Amino acid sequence: MRLNRITGNIFRKYLSPFGITDSQTSIMFVLSKHEDGLIQNQIATIVQLEKSTLSRNLRRLMEQGYLKKNDASKIAITYEGKQLIEKVIPEWQKAMDEIRSYIGQDGEEALSTLLNNLINHK
């Protein structure tokens, strides 16, 4: 949890000018890779957010015009959402670079191993 708070603070520093959170950015990244959209359960599985947290973030992103729901109940990124993501990517990369500068290659590999172990344990 402490690691999550520390990295979250770094992402907030870079994402705050855009008015979106790191979780919302993750959702938009996922949907930018799925042009036809995804149903809410698919998004939840990919981004690993609780249903209530995901619903709240989706609602906010739709209110801002970054996401839309189609007739098949799939949620997709809008043109405005795609434009925002293009602006966010360099700042997201700066946050990732800052985190990497703190943890180094060994730390990144250790975190990758830990994540894979947790995913495979399910």
**How does pLDDT run across 68-111, given as a tens digit for each residue?**
998 778 999 999 999 999 999 999 999 999 999 998 999 888 98
In this prediction, residue 4 has a pLDDT band, given cuts at 50, 70 and 90, of confident
The radius of gyration computed from the CA coordinates of the chain, to the nearest angstrom, equals 15
pLDDT of residue 122: 62
Report yes or no on whether pTM surpasses 0.95.
Answer: no
pLDDT of residue 31: 96
User: What value does the mean pLDDT take over residues 37-53?
Assistant: 92
pLDDT of residue 115: 83
| Overall size of the chain counted in residues | 122
**CB contact at 8 A, 84 and 18:** yes
Q: Which domains does the chain have, with CATH numbers?
A: 2-121 (1.10.10.10)
Residue found under tokens 């990295």: 7
pLDDT of residue 60: 96
Six-digit token pair at 70? Answer: 């189609």
**CB contact at 8 A, 51 and 44:** yes
